[in-house]
């Protein structure tokens, strides 16, 4: 299944695919790895709690069913080009969002055998947006091939 094209102001609700997919968007600036490192543990716990709860509520609102495996595409959007973070700098926000999917009952856990792929797309500046946002495109993992054993 192809993920939504990067740069779309709003990714499509469903991507043409046999596999159902969901788009979850939280309208807040994704916190960067640098912000996480600079803060103390209480501030970090507060940010994690906010993002976990936000994605728990989004998953419930979008009626995302329990999934046995998951593929995640993270698309950060910013209203201005002021201090654009590096690709994957939003890793803390994405990790908290995946924890929120566990809290919502979409996943039983976030171990590697369940969360099979997490892809970070480069940040997109969209001056038409009313806020910064992090959009997660999620779908059940569908392997392209199943080897007898891992090739490495």
Tokens standing for residue 95: 């990790």
pLDDT at 16: 46
Question: For the segment 69-79, what is each residue's pLDDT rounded down to a tens digit?
Answer: 999 999 999 98
Residue 116, H or E segment: strand 115-120
CA–CA distance, 126 with 112 (Å, rounded to integer) = 33
86: confidence class by pLDDT, cuts 50, 70, 90: confident
CA–CA distance, 36 with 24 (Å, rounded to integer) = 23
CA–CA distance, 136 with 59 (Å, rounded to integer) = 11
Say if residue 36's pLDDT is above 50. yes
Question: For the segment 105-116, what is each residue's pLDDT rounded down to a tens digit?
Answer: 999 999 999 999
Mean pLDDT (the chain) is 85
């Amino acid at each position: 299944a192809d993920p939504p094209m990067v740069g779309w102001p709003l990714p499509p609700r469903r991507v043409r695919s046999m596999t159902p997919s969901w788009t979850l968007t939280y309208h807040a600036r994704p916190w960067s790895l640098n912000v996480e490192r600079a803060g103390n543990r209480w501030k970090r716990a507060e940010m994690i709690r906010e993002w976990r709860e936000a994605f728990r509520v989004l998953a419930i609102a979008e009626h995302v069913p329990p999934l046995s495996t998951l593929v995640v595409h993270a698309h950060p959007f910013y209203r201005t080009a002021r201090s654009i973070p590096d690709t994957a700098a939003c890793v803390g926000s994405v990790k908290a969002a995946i924890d929120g999917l566990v809290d919502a009952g979409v996943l039983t856990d976030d171990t590697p055998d369940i969360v099979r792929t997490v892809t970070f797309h480069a940040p997109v500046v969209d001056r038409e947006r009313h806020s910064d946002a992090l959009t997660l495109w999620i779908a059940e993992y569908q392997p392209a091939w199943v080897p007898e054993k891992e090739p490495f």
